[in-house]
Amino acid sequence: MPDVVPGTQTVPNLKPDYEVRLLLNPSAVLSPQYELTGNVISSFDMPPTVIKMNVQFLDTSSKELYTADWSARIRKMENEDDFELTYK
């Protein structure tokens, strides 16, 4: 075990409060069963289970919000009671 300076403590990794999105080639990262490959899971240190997220985009039939460069959506995570309204 490495030496620790008296009066200090190790700090656990922080959980980010943001999302990172990557545009990936599906044939390079998904198996024939449409699941992430083991290489992707290990490279990104991903958990072995998934959490389903339902997303509903809010807009008019003529896409007025999208045309005005807005995106509004409702998200609901599996096993959670609350909804999340996000916009950008």
Q: pLDDT digits over 21-51, tens only?
A: 889 999 999 999 998 999 999 998 888 788 8
Q: What is the pLDDT of residue 7?
A: 64
- CA Rg value for the chain: 20
Full-model pTM: 0.49
Same domain, 41 and 73: no
Same domain, 63 and 82: yes
Q: What is the pLDDT of residue 60?
A: 94
Same domain, 57 and 84: yes
Name 52's bridge partners.
none
Give the range of the structural domain holding residue 68, as residue numbers without chain letter: 52-88
Same domain, 30 and 44: yes
